[in-house]
Chains A and B, each alone.
Chain A
Amino acid sequence: MTGDLLRILLLVLQLGFLAILYLILFGFARSLLRDLRSAEQTQRASLTGIGRLAVLESPEDQPPTGRTIALGPINSIGRNVNNTIFVEDDFASTNHAMLTFRGRSWFIEDQGSTNGTYVNGHRIERPVALSFGDELTIGRVRMRLER
């Protein structure tokens, strides 16, 4: 009968092991679902913002370095204060570039600036689609497009 006792014990331990495993699984699933719900909420909140620009470097501090600028669908960039994004930099032109959201992607178009608009270090010749993470250079101001 000791053999049976041992077998019963092993069975109980085995079922206990599996039960704990499933409790842990349940915990994970719950956490995941909770995160999913909060993620949906934040996503809903951020639906109004289709993207933003992080200012990486700005020698004149306008826009201030480290600031993140929320973007609308159409943004003009330049040294004129009437631009959506006002850039205080001697190397930027008055109406330097247009940053627009069309359909599914962001596009940047140079507005005939003197010193040009750069994407990831390359000067652009015509309108160019951007991905999130791309780096824009307007004069000496470096900015990064983020979600």
Chain B
Amino acid sequence: MRLAWRTAELRMLLPLLVLVPLGFVLTHVAEAGKLDPGPLGLALGYVAIMLGAHVALTLFGHRGDQLLLPLVGTIGGIGMIMLNRLPQDLAGTSVLGVDLGMAATQLVWFGISVVAMLVVAIGFRDDGVLRHYKYTWAAAGAGLLAATFVFGKEVNGARLWIDLGPVQFQPGEFIKIVLVVFIAGYLAENRALLTGASNRIGPISIPPLPYLLPMFAIFVIVMLIVVISKDLGTALLFFGIFLTMLFVATGRRSYVLIGLLLFVAGAFVAYELFGHVRLRVDVWLNPFEDPAGPAYQTVHAIYAFGRGGLFGEGLGQGLLPGVGGGFPAIQTDFIFAAAAEDLGLVGAFALLFLALLLVFRGLRIAMLAHDDFSGMLAVGLTTSLGLQTLIIVAGNAKLIPLTGVTFPFVSYGGSSLLASFLVIGLLLSISHRAARAADAAQS
């Protein structure tokens, strides 16, 4: 093990020392109405966790990408600031008899997730476990999904949660990773054998059967999620990840097009058959028809964007969290709308831009990966983060029907945070191995 300085990472992490505490101070001054920095423990704790991760990676001589951690740290930092700014009794937990508020609970999850990320990034030296046992993983994912269907608890009309005594978790977040691993393994194995070959029925080029089968299987799974879990966001996300990876593996837009047509057809059927789908779509199309009814959240999210304007109402000064005596799901589904109201379009753009940079970074890791499986894995993982961000932001802004996925690294919730950091851990390990291989080739 060789110690390697990670100066770029450190340089981009240090500004967090100013940014996160400043956000906390701003919130406190706005809320207390007097000049007083307020408690900064959580802010400093957060920055300490990120710097701690940096030190750990350095000590273990990790050669992985140096911008991932600072990007995630900045996005997560804004998330911590927003969660600290919301009413603290929205969520929380009690650890060893100490009651923790929402932001404190999230900080604990940050700690756990970052450790998990480090374990994956540093400990994961061989991807054979993933690629050779892809069917085992697929089975595990399917089992988890089935468990959600059977034991899942319905919250806000969607069945996403599994209750494990003291801990609840959202299996969907982890099934997502398993799905990416499986598709990456499947496509990497079959890609080269099948490029070029395709059957034609008339003018339409039909993908060869080995593509068609898993495509169909995943479509069925996605529709099952829509029907049984009523979780439109996860369904859209899964299908989007699959189509994206299929495109990268084959370079064929036609496959994506066929997949999209399939999705549209499925969506149409779902709209006709299922009340909860129809409601979501109707609310999306005509939110102002009944602003006090089911469109309540959508309408008020839009108002929040409008109030935010260019430079925002000011951290801690937005009205959305207080609408109706407490806005439902503001700490999860609508955290972006709350941030856009407080920080304005300028702040919202910054958040989106950070997410985009993270995506670019992930795709770069995919391009530099030393084998096809790692590359496909990186593409899938990156896409999962990027699409998830796009789906929730577009849903908040009424560009697509609202769906309940989380904003990675920003929304409140342990499952989401843990899964997102596992993704980062995997990306770090992929880029680490690519760097080592490049070194080996040069020497």
List chain A positions with a Cβ less than 8 A from chain B. Answer: 6, 9-11, 13-18, 20-25, 27-29, 31-32, 35-36, 39, 52, 54, 66, 68, 70, 104-106, 120, 128-134, 144-147
Contact = CB atoms under 8 A, between A and B. Distances in A.
Given A14-B312, A131-B191, A9 B12 contact: no
Top 7 closest pairs, chain A to chain B, by CB: A133-B371, A129-B192, A131-B372, A131-B192, A132-B371, A13-B26, A132-B372
B65 to A, nearest CB: 9
B41 to A, nearest CB: 19
Contacts of B189: 120, 131
25 contacts: A6-B29, A6-B34, A10-B30, A10-B314, A14-B26, A14-B311, A15-B311, A17-B19, A17-B26, A17-B343, A18-B311, A18-B312, A18-B347, A20-B18, A22-B346, A24-B19, A27-B11, A27-B12, A28-B67, A32-B360, A35-B67, A39-B367, A52-B441, A70-B441, A132-B372
Tell me the dominant secondary structure on chain A's binding face: helix
Nearest to A36: B364
A147 B346 CA distance: 41
A25 B353 contact: yes
B98 interface: no
B53 interface: no
B15 A23 contact: yes
A134 B30 CA distance: 59
A24 B74 contact: yes
A9 B29 CA distance: 9
Q: Which of A20, A21, A120 has the most CB of B within 10 A?
A: A21
B129 interface: no
Contact of B371 (A13, A22, A144): A144
Nearest to A104: B195
Interface of B: 8, 11-12, 15, 18-19, 22-23, 25-26, 29-30, 33-35, 67, 70-71, 74, 78, 131, 188-189, 191-193, 195, 311-312, 314-315, 317, 343-344, 346-347, 350, 353-354, 357, 360-361, 364, 367-375, 437, 440-441
Contact of B370 (A14, A106, A120, A133): A133
A28 B357 contact: yes
A32 B370 contact: no
B193 A128 contact: yes
A131 B188 contact: yes
Given A9-B29, A131-B191, A21 B350 contact: yes
A26 B130 CA distance: 36
B29 A18 contact: no
B371 A68 contact: no
A13 B372 contact: no
B192 A130 contact: yes
B317 A21 contact: no
Contacts of B346: 18, 22
Contact of A10 (B26, B78, B360): B26
Contacts of B367: 39
A21 B372 contact: no
Contacts of A13: 22, 25-26, 29
Contact of A16 (B22, B33, B131, B370): B22
Contact of B364 (A39, A128, A131, A132): A39
B354 A28 contact: yes
B191 A6 contact: no
Contacts of B315: 14, 17
Given A120-B189, A130-B192, A144-B371, A17 B23 contact: yes
B15 A24 contact: yes
Contacts of B371: 131-134, 144-147
A20 B354 CA distance: 14
Contact of B12 (A16, A24, A128): A24
Contacts of B78: 21
A20 B15 contact: yes
Contacts of A6: 29, 33-35
A30 to B, nearest CB: 10
Q: Which of A9, A13, A134 has the most CB of B within 10 A?
A: A13
A105 B26 contact: no
A105 B373 CA distance: 15
Given A9-B35, A13-B25, A14-B314, A146 B192 contact: no
